[in-house]
Amino acid sequence: MMSALNRTISFNKSSSFNRRSLNIGSPKVIITRSRWVSLRFQVLVIIASVMSFFIAVGGGYIYVLPSISHAFFQTRGLFSDYNNNGSLRNCDVFDGRWVQVPGGYYPLYNATECPFVEQGFNCLGNGRSDMDYLSWRWKPKDCNVPRFDVRIVLEMLRSKRVVFVGDSMSRTQWESLICMLMAGVEDKKGVYEVNQNQITKRTRFLGVRFSAYNFTIEFFRSVFLVQQGPVPKHAPKRVKSTLILDKLDDISEQWVNSDVLIFNTGHWWVPSKLFNTGCYFKVEGSLKLGMSIPAAFRIALETWALWVERKINRNRTRVFFRTFEPSHWSDQTRGICNLTRYPLLETDGTEQSLFSDTVLEVVKNVRFPINVLHVTSMSAFRSDAHVGNWSDNLSFQDCSHWCLPGVPDIWNEIVLSQLFTDDENPFQQME
């Protein structure tokens, strides 16, 4: 390439000189046939040189610059995707669609190799043969959910305490995050449950410690978030227990000193879990037999919001609340799954939830900054990603819980993106 450029420079000099000498010596230039052939050859050399130069520059742009950009963004932090209007935090990440991505990125971990995944959620380990449900990624309209980099996240969570509070859906997300992070840990024995507990549905507290990084990821089982109480005196026989709507769960003091708090509730706020079992509501010491579930749910959330304002240190703790995620049963009896191979094209109204709407309304009036993980709409499309027949109980279908790896992984990717791109986050030493 340099020789060609040298020839070009030499040609330009000689031709310029010849034009000057010819114009001085004679008003008419006569070029012989051999001279004409030589001139055409040199012109072709110039054209080839120029084309080679632009091809080399283009190739360098395509292959070199992305690598440089990637290395640059890695040094800036975990998440560096921006939309046209500014940073990721200006984008509604929950307004988008599911897109299929090529193999190699998902899944983020192998559930069979992660000891913290319940066997009932390990769909591939329980015989599911198709892996199409693993190849979908959430794509917001105006930005991108940045890709997960396990090494950077592990460092950023060093000496932190992450706490999940809620029902079994919360436990699934908890398991997902642990497995996502464990994939980047060399010494797997250094990741362990602090009380040597097995991962079971009824355990009220589970905590996994990453000893090499000195942080824990914890789960507290609190399906209603508020206290469950005994039967009041002189209550009707149908009353077997109560929900004390104006008092948060009696284990709530254990949630306070955390760096990240992620709540959810909703799936137990149904007649089969409440009235059908003899559980009714209580407010200010008075039994409310006629109170509806939506009204009780709102009071419970307001109790939770007041607790957050009074108890949580905004300079330390980031608070998230995940909205209701739809199930995909074929009917109200919840006996048959409406499982598909691919995500739905239409959600048929399941993207709407009274519980989710209530969460948004309550949080809007809270003085404490709370990130709402509004996953209702995005999860409504994923009828392909439930456990279905691939549970550890072959006699029971499950169209409520999610396979792991799966949909809860993207919830965690969104949580991490919001943690590490917010200019007002408490992780100042992480930036």
Same domain, 60 and 169: no
Same domain, 91 and 192: yes
Measured distance CA(164)–CA(274) in Å, rounded: 23
Same domain, 48 and 98: no
Angle at 217 (CA atoms; ends 419, 165), nearest 5 degrees: 80
Would you state the pLDDT for residue 409? 97
In the Cβ-directed half-sphere of 206, how many Cα atoms lie within 13 Å?
Answer: 26
- 8: in domain: yes
Last residue of a domain, one of 32, 47, 72: 72
Same domain, 164 and 264: yes
Same domain, 286 and 422: yes
- Strand 398-402 to strand 260-263: parallel, antiparallel, or no bridges (unpaired)? unpaired
Mean pLDDT of 258-264: 98
Side-by-side strand order, sheet with 191-193: 191-193, 205-210, 215-221, 161-166, 260-263, 318-322, 370-373
- Strand 191-193 to strand 205-210: parallel, antiparallel, or no bridges (unpaired)? antiparallel
End-to-end CA distance of the chain: 45
- 385: in domain: yes
- 266: in domain: yes
Last residue of a domain, one of 72, 98, 118: 72
Looking at per-residue pLDDT, the higher value among 62 and 386 belongs to 386
**pLDDT of 198-251, one tens digit each?**
888 889 999 999 999 999 999 999 999 999 999 998 999 999 999 999 999 999
Same domain, 338 and 387: yes
Same domain, 229 and 260: yes
**Is residue 383 a contact partner of residue 406, using CB atoms and an 8 Å limit?**
no
For 55, 324, 380, the CA distances from 377, given in Å and listed in that order, are 46, 9, 5
**pLDDT of 327-359, one tens digit each?**
998 877 667 888 899 999 988 777 889 999 999
> Who contacts 345 (Cβ-Cβ below 8 Å, separation ≥6)?
381
Measured distance CA(320)–CA(306) in Å, rounded: 15
pTM: 0.79
Joined tokens for residue 174 = 């908890």
Mean pLDDT of 373-389: 95
Same domain, 133 and 26: no
Same domain, 228 and 308: yes
- Strand 279-283 to strand 241-248: parallel, antiparallel, or no bridges (unpaired)? parallel
Measured distance CA(302)–CA(370) in Å, rounded: 13
Same domain, 56 and 102: no
* Domain of residue 9, residue span: 2-72
Measured distance CA(59)–CA(144) in Å, rounded: 26
**pLDDT of 3-37, one tens digit each?**
443 433 333 433 333 333 333 333 333 334 444 44
Tell me which residue of 250, 237, 234, 245 sits closest to 282, measured CA to CA: 245
Three-state DSSP class for residue 201: coil
Domain count, the chain: 2
Measured distance CA(229)–CA(289) in Å, rounded: 15
Last residue of a domain, one of 43, 72, 101: 72
- 78: in domain: no
Same domain, 169 and 24: no
Mean pLDDT of 48-55: 55
Would you state the pLDDT for residue 23? 36
Same domain, 280 and 174: yes
Measured distance CA(242)–CA(282) in Å, rounded: 6
- 284: in domain: yes
**pLDDT of 84-125, one tens digit each?**
333 566 789 999 999 999 877 899 999 999 999 999 999 999
- 77: in domain: no
For 100, 245, 375, 390, the CA distances from 394, given in Å and listed in that order, are 30, 37, 29, 7
Would you state the pLDDT for residue 212? 97
Would you state the pLDDT for residue 105? 82
- 79: in domain: no
- 351: in domain: yes
Instruction: Kindly write down the DSSP assignment for every residue of 38-82, as one continuous string.
Output: HHHHHHHHHHHHHHHHHHHHHHHHHHHHHHHHHHHHHHH-S---E
